[in-house]
Structure 1
Amino acid sequence: MSVRELVILGTSSAVPTRRRNHNGYFLRWGDQGVLFDPGEGTQRQMRLAGLAATDVTRICVTHFHGDHSLGLPGVMQRIARDRVPHTVRVAYPGAGEEYWRRLRHATSFHDTEVILPQPVGGSGCCAIGEEEPFTVTALPLRHSVPAYGYRLVEPDGWRMSPERLERHGVRGPDVSRLLREGRIEVAGREVALAECADPRPGQVFAFVMDTGECEQAVELARGADMLVIESTYLDSEERLAREYRHLTARMAGRIAARAGVRLLVLTHLSERYEQEREGEFVAQAAEEFDGRIVLAADLDRIAMPARRRPV
């Protein structure tokens, strides 16, 4: 199976700290690389993580607050400088088009034509990303500026069984034809795909940043193998979370529990919390969610969970 992992480039919120850079998350999905919310310092963090501009095939921006987007100019200029040959699609809230234009051409540089803007908008589900091995959808969140979360879904597939293929006499080009057509005739007998393969559930990744609790966050995370979600505050600052339309770790855990998530990754921590208090984020989320929880740290690599077993 191809490598599927999340590389954490930054985990702070509005103000970076000595240990936590501004936001930045790189999802490696086989030969695809999705960069989420590149804040300041993303280009350097990519270097430290061993990532190149050529690894990026798509960028997803949730909203145009600086800690989620001020790294865009550097990343895009690096894509141009390194002469990345493939298209790099960039999804962002269409309501922030003026900010996109400013960031896209923040300074003078030798531009590139490979960057393809994909503004998202509306109050419902916005589908993008038909070119990748997964579908990408965006849903609006509840924040102080237009903000969208993203959901990547791999279609369900099949895992071929060499023994069963041989037993049914399916060989060579007939294997791909069976996979494509669902049933074929071999030596005068019809062979169905289910006789030679087992269902392979597709994987789901969800990315939810700055937002208050809302149904859209739950819908984005529904059945996700991995949910990356902001948890800016602890319970003691719940009033601030509601006032500024952010989440506490407990709220993030509640969303994960309602959505049936498998792995919950907490990030976007307020700079107010010292290192010795970070365990409280996991503890408070765990009071709502009984699955696996990871508190993200800069330059962590978090593997996607193994596929679910077919029901």
Structure 2
Amino acid sequence: MFRIVLLGSGGSIPSPERCVSCVGIRCNGRVYTFDACEGLQRQMMRAKLSYFKTSAIFISHLHPDHFLGIPGLVYTLQLSEYKDELHIIGPPGTKEVVNNLLLGNVPSFVKVKEFEGEGEVYACDEFRVSAFKVKHSKHSYGYVLEEREKLKFHEEKAKALGINGRLFREIEEKGHVEINGKAIKLEDVAWKKAGKKIVYSGDTVYDENVVMNSKDADLLIMDATFTEAHRKDADEKMHATAKDAAEIAKRAGCKKLVLTHISSRYKDIKGHVEEAKELFEEAIVAEDGLEITV
């Protein structure tokens, strides 16, 4: 299960209501963030996401509103004699940015990884994270978090074949067991259940690559900086509108859509809501602190 909190839902400039872009995810006691908004620690405290449990930060691109929360978090962890590793993962230039933010004093627990191109960038026991290219600035990426498949047993069928107790573990480890001279394969009594899929678009325009990578996602967290009333601004600044986000979610077959990176010019989000729901009913506009469980 993933606990997802919108730590920052605003555009490039913060407002009294919205911090800039950041999503926090808690899984199996650990915390991961997609981008790192200024004021990250405070936002995490408000959301009851322990920054002492932070394992990785995924940076979508190197505009300051997406990474200014890093130095404060690292400084606090350093003062607290942090014993774990903090992975900071991002596109080319991330190492230089982190080094500059920390004035050349990068603690040994900070592990910076740069990548260029699409593919897997992080993996743990529970899930894997892959990056995909989006159209915004140079080296801009979105991320796909995919939970690992889970093995599920047909309990009645397994019981009828005499599989119980330690035999469940044995057949899971070996792929087969023998009972009364009869070989029973794992696929005879079990199946793999697909894990959850969460997509974070980062900053982007409408892009077929976002559609492709968001296919069948349980949750798409998508740039919707503007409404169609400001389409010219969206195109010039290379951001998406609420309509763009809804069209992507609809075409990709997503289950739920969260619109984020809302420009500070909007004091009323009614236009975003109406525009998105016209195409995709399961759309909501993020606010700081919005929480979703997947």
Give the TM interval when normalised to the shorter protein: over 0.9
Partner-residue secondary structure (3-state), 2:49: coil
Does residue 301 of structure 1 match 2:294?
no
Summarize the alignment of residues 166-181 of structure 1 with structure 2, pairs less than 5 Å apart. 166-181=159-174
* Paired position in structure 2 for 1:66: 64
Partner-residue secondary structure (3-state), 1:57: strand
**C-alpha displacement of 1:298:** 1.0
Q: Select 2:234's aligned residue among 241, 255, 260.
A: 241
* Paired position in structure 1 for 2:39: 41
Does residue 226 of structure 1 match 2:219?
yes
User: What residue identity is the alignment partner of 1:223?
Assistant: D
The 8 Å contact of residues 8 and 301 in structure 1, kept in 2 or not, is answered as: yes
User: What residue identity is the alignment partner of 2:236?
Assistant: E
* Paired position in structure 2 for 1:261: 254
* Paired position in structure 1 for 2:200: 207
User: What residue identity is the alignment partner of 2:111?
Assistant: L
In 2, the alpha carbon distance for the partners of 1:191 and 1:83 equals 51
What do you get for the CA RMSD once the two structures are aligned?
A: 2.0
In 2, the alpha carbon distance for the partners of 1:184 and 1:4 equals 34
**C-alpha displacement of 1:107:** 7.8
Summarize the alignment of residues 132-147 of structure 1 with structure 2, pairs less than 5 Å apart. 132-147=125-140
Does residue 283 of structure 1 match 2:274?
yes
Task: Provide, for residues 91-124 of structure 1, a one-character-per-residue CA deviation record: whole Å limited to 9, x for no partner.
Answer: 1111444323212x1486xx632221111213xx
User: What residue identity is the alignment partner of 2:109?
Assistant: V
The 8 Å contact of residues 31 and 50 in structure 2, kept in 1 or not, is answered as: no
Partner-residue secondary structure (3-state), 2:123: coil
Would you say how many aligned residue pairs link Structure 1 and Structure 2? 294
In 2, the alpha carbon distance for the partners of 1:78 and 1:132 equals 27
Q: Select 1:217's aligned residue among 198, 210, 214.
A: 210
Q: Select 1:27's aligned residue among 25, 39, 46.
A: 25
In 2, the alpha carbon distance for the partners of 1:157 and 1:96 equals 34
Distance change (3 Å), C-alpha of 1:121 and 1:34: same
* Paired position in structure 1 for 2:109: 114
Distance change (3 Å), C-alpha of 1:114 and 1:164: farther
In 1, the alpha carbon distance for the partners of 2:151 and 2:279 equals 35
Runs of 5+ in structure 1 lacking a partner? 305-311
In 1, the alpha carbon distance for the partners of 2:89 and 2:116 equals 10
In 2, the alpha carbon distance for the partners of 1:220 and 1:106 equals 36
* Paired position in structure 2 for 1:307: none
The 8 Å contact of residues 35 and 59 in structure 1, kept in 2 or not, is answered as: yes
In 2, the alpha carbon distance for the partners of 1:26 and 1:256 equals 21
The 8 Å contact of residues 37 and 69 in structure 1, kept in 2 or not, is answered as: yes
**C-alpha displacement of 1:227:** 0.7
